[in-house]
A and B are shown apart, each in its own frame.
Chain A
Amino acid sequence: DSGVTQTPKHLITATGQRVTLRCSPRSGDLSVYWYQQSLDQGLQFLIQYYNGEERAKGNILERFSAQQFPDLHSELNLSSLELGDSALYFCASSPGTSGHSGANVLTFGAGSRLTVL
């Protein structure tokens, strides 16, 4: 157990629907990252939050949004789902923004597998 908890583990839904993925970071970690893993695109960085604030944005679609709450858990909202959104969504956490010092290793959760039919 990495200490990063993701729910649900599996989710099957239909096109056009909306889902919410949840992530609780490792105790003491302030940064949360979301990644999408698919066979054709590999691991794609979506977004990062640090202590409730958005810090970096990657290849996140406008149909997707995320937030980090005061208790540091994070949610990734995926709306108007398309077949191509089927993927494994990982959350990772790290101690924080280490600046130019520290390893700031990302610890990954087990992932949420989304299937859009």
Chain B
Amino acid sequence: ELKVEQNPLFLSMQEGKNYTIYCNYSTTSDRLYWYRQDPGKSLESLFVLLSNGAVKQEGRLMASLDTKARLSTLHITAAVHDLSATYFCAVAAYSGAGSYQLTFGKGTKLSVIP
């Protein structure tokens, strides 16, 4: 059974600071997704990482994937209040017949404090 662990689960950081969220997973996969969820809202896709060494950047967020270490990171640069949300990583496992099943981590609740 695929297990996905995120840490930290809660993160309070000051505006302007940098931090990294880690996503470890237990079995081989070469596709990993990062999502953002605002309170009471749906999940919004941020990044899709499809190969070892993949790096994607959007604004103050950068995601990377190391399939050998079974690790993805989401790096936040110079945090601003608008980044406050819960961030999920999700790892795809092949479930047969051309389908992939996503297993989500528990999420990292990020609060950016002025």
Contacts and interface: CB of A to CB of B under 8 A. Distances in A.
Contacts of A99: 98
A56 interface: yes
Contacts of B43: 90, 92, 108
Size range of the chain A interface in the assembly: 20 to 34
A48 B101 contact: yes
Contacts of B96: 55-56
Contact of A106 (B45, B98, B106): B45
B100 interface: yes
Given A43-B104, A103-B50, A110 B42 contact: yes
A99 B44 CA distance: 23
A111 B42 CA distance: 7
Contacts of A31: 99
Grouping DSSP codes into helix (H, G, I), strand (E, B) and loop, the B interface class, with mixed when no group exceeds half, is strand
Contacts of A45: 101-104
Interface in A45-80: 45, 48, 50, 55-56, 58
B75 interface: no
Given A43-B104, A99-B98, 16 more contacts: A35-B104, A42-B104, A42-B105, A42-B107, A48-B99, A50-B98, A50-B99, A56-B101, A92-B43, A103-B48, A103-B50, A106-B102, A107-B45, A108-B35, A108-B43, A108-B44
